[in-house]
A and B are shown apart, each in its own frame.
Chain A
């Protein structure tokens, strides 16, 4: 396969919401290209008409009764937020 370009890495970084330094980006480009190269052999396997496996148990949509259970303690949950205001989690502006 063709090596990844710096633009490819930048695009993945945006999709993954991860900020990389320039040095990290270049390392990532080289390593991903190398790892993806090892995957090329898969294209040789004939998978015509083969159903994909998502998971190995044969159950699919599992239904259960919608019964209310005791909720988590609000303070126990909110104590982990990096920035909190009373019973709210504070975030930076969402709209630019």
Chain B
């Protein structure tokens, strides 16, 4: 652990590789955690991926993990002793949780969310809380009240969002696995822009209890990792029925890693042509075409298909998500927690002031949009209409999966863009998620894997599966990963 090259092997190791180093007594979890904490100190001034780092807690977790790895107490699992980051919209008991908003600065949750509890029980080492777009609303991480995250591939560029801190930290070797949330692409799009693996599981697979709610019918927790196998292992830990989330499914859960070596030979994979949108960068398009060739060489049957309602998905999403957000965020009233003011004559005024000062521009915009869409006289034209089109989009996917085992698309129409480039036009910013949003509308599983390089920046490849076809998308992604070396490319940082 003394030479630079050994450390760099450690920073960019997969969680599975790290675990085998623990088993081979090459490193202890405490040593690995110390090395990563040092790297975080070195890189944070230029990346800003963490809102809160908790070194003392992490080292205590690592000591406990080392005892477990040495055979005392509970059996060790794939995440035992592995340093991880948690996005700062997950409730963590006794550790500040801000959702990157001024309205929650200083908020100390009295409980752990379910995913956090399961990760602690698995013996993972929590390094701290990841930066994000405020309340996970954004595609560039620029709406954070704690400043933007910088992409480790080029620090003048955004990491994507909203799980920008998570994706950038995994790409830069500041953690081995990060956990994010995905409402319209918030795991997959930053994973694509930072060159890592990111997965949004089927809606209902992972409990949302303790995830600060944004769009409750769309939100889903998932992992960001440096390999598909790590993603499957991480999903195995966090997917469990939870009585505290009434949308948490009871279905028996697969071992999500069971098919990672099964390949794609004979698999029918559809390419929905509407995802190759106007304005897609040519470098992204050619990387995608090369990826299709790779899948074909592996024996997959690739054919074009059409999902015509895709063109309406963005409108459906930007009505439903803000509507749900406007209801969910009404809890931030400046009374029970977060920013409050005593400088008001009435309780209602105090709330208006706290919310006016506490929320940033994008969050206000979405609350206004949602409030409008739900208000008397507009409900049928916007919210109900969007929910009806949602039904039709789901049907279109259901029909497609009668023919195909999975669909494949680019994850994002472009590579990482410059900080500030799209901040003046909210709708241009929304277009970043055009390939990821339909998946959340239909509640489907989807994974983004490194799928090429364009202009020296990573390009992502997205697989979409039928509801509860999580194992299928992991299988396809793993086959693609094994046949390419994009996942082995790391930023020079």
Contacts and interface: CB of A to CB of B under 8 A. Distances in A.
Interface in B320-374: 326, 330, 333-342, 344-353, 355-356, 359, 361, 364-365, 367-369, 371-372
Contacts of A50: 388, 391-392
Contacts of B356: 18-20
B365 A28 contact: yes
B442 A56 contact: yes
B108 A83 contact: no
Contacts of B375: 11-12, 15
A95 B318 CA distance: 36
B395 to A, nearest CB: 9
A18 B367 contact: yes
Contacts of B108: 76, 79-80
A76 B110 CA distance: 5
Contact of B338 (A82, A91, A93): A82
Contact of A28 (B247, B316, B352, B368): B368
A81 B337 contact: yes
Interface stretch (B35-43, B55-63, B136-144, B379-387): B379-387
Nearest to B93: A76
B318 A47 contact: no
B329 to A, nearest CB: 9
Given A52-B391, A56-B442, A62 B385 contact: no
Nearest to B382: A39
Interface residues of B, number: 73
B347 A42 contact: no
Contacts of B333: 17
Contacts of A43: 381, 385
A5 interface: no
Interface string A69-82: 00011001101111
A15 B323 CA distance: 13
Given A57-B203, A92-B350, A45 B309 contact: yes
A67 to B, nearest CB: 10
Given A41-B312, A81-B337, 19 more contacts: A16-B330, A19-B356, A20-B364, A24-B361, A42-B386, A45-B385, A47-B388, A52-B384, A55-B217, A55-B247, A56-B203, A56-B442, A57-B203, A57-B204, A57-B247, A80-B336, A80-B337, A83-B342, A91-B335
B332 to A, nearest CB: 10
A56 B217 contact: yes
Given A57-B249, A72-B110, A92 B349 contact: yes
Of listed A17, A59, A94, residue having the most chain B CB within 10 A? A17
Contacts of A86: none
5 contacts: A19-B353, A24-B364, A47-B385, A57-B203, A82-B341
Contacts of A47: 385, 388-389, 392
B154 to A, nearest CB: 29
B407 to A, nearest CB: 17
Given A17-B351, A56-B394, A80-B108, A38 B315 contact: yes
A56 B467 contact: yes
A72 B108 CA distance: 13
A9 to B, nearest CB: 8
A42 B335 contact: no
Contacts of A82: 334-335, 337-342
Contacts of B107: 80
Given A45-B389, A82-B340, A31 B110 contact: no
